[in-house]
């Protein structure tokens, strides 16, 4: 028998709100089953999708990108297309990260330069006021 998790259990597992899970369902990322009381229940496949969604969000992927990567498995059960697209998105994300790192390093250099300049000026002003 397949173990199913309730929406409350899934929310606790992933630190999500029921509203978030319903939103993922609304946009087609999740397809939970319904129990006899018509409550949402999540099987291993849906839990794996949630794990992928959360990882994608942590890596700053857009929900549309995450959806494409997840739904590709439904189109190609071998997983090849899903992996190819995931690798392509990952490479794009690495380029974005490298660009952001370069920008942050430039900002850091500028701040350090200004700090030295302002410290020198401050010391000069303090020296002038002592005399």
Q: Which of 29, 56, 32 is closest to 44 using CA atoms? A: 32
pLDDT bucket at 1, cuts 50 / 70 / 90: low
Q: What is the pLDDT of residues 69-97, one digit of tens each?
A: 888 878 888 889 989 999 999 999 999 99
Query: With pLDDT > 70 as the criterion, what percentage of the chain qualifies?
Result: 98
Kindly state whether residue 122 falls inside one of the protein's structural domains.
Answer: no
Domain span at residue 25 reads: 5-97
Kindly state whether residue 61 falls inside one of the protein's structural domains.
Answer: yes
pLDDT of residue 76: 83
Kindly state whether residue 125 falls inside one of the protein's structural domains.
Answer: no
Task: Give the mean model confidence (pLDDT) for residues 16-32.
Answer: 96
Kindly state whether residue 42 falls inside one of the protein's structural domains.
Answer: yes
State yes or no: pLDDT of 15 exceeds 90: yes
Kindly state whether residue 15 falls inside one of the protein's structural domains.
Answer: yes
CATH code of residue 61:
1.10.1660.10
* Number of domains into which the chain is organized: 1
Kindly state whether residue 118 falls inside one of the protein's structural domains.
Answer: no
Q: What is the pLDDT of residues 101-124, one digit of tens each?
A: 999 999 999 999 999 999 999 999
Q: What is the pLDDT of residues 41-71, one digit of tens each?
A: 999 999 999 999 999 999 999 999 999 988 8
Burial profile 84-106: b = 16 or more Cβ within 10 angstroms, e = fewer: eebeebeeeeeeeeeeeeeeeee
Kindly state whether residue 14 falls inside one of the protein's structural domains.
Answer: yes
- The mean pLDDT of the chain is 93
Tokens of 105: 């390093």
Kindly state whether residue 128 falls inside one of the protein's structural domains.
Answer: no
Global pTM? 0.76
């Amino acid at each position: 028998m397949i173990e199913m998790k309730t929406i409350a259990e899934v929310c606790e597992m992933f630190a999500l709100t029921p509203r978030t899970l319903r939103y993922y369902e609304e946009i087609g990322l999740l397809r939970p089953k319904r129990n006899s009381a018509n409550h949402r229940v999540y099987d291993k496949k849906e839990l794996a999708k949630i794990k992928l969604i959360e990882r994608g969000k942590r890596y700053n992927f857009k929900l549309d990108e995450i959806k494409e990567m997840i739904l590709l498995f439904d189109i190609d059960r071998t997983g090849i297309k899903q992996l190819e697209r995931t690798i392509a998105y990952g490479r794009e994300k690495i380029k974005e990260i490298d660009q952001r790192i370069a920008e942050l390093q430039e900002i850091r250099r500028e701040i350090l330069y200004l700090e030295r300049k302002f410290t020198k000026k401050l010391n000069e002003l303090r020296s002038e006021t002592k005399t």
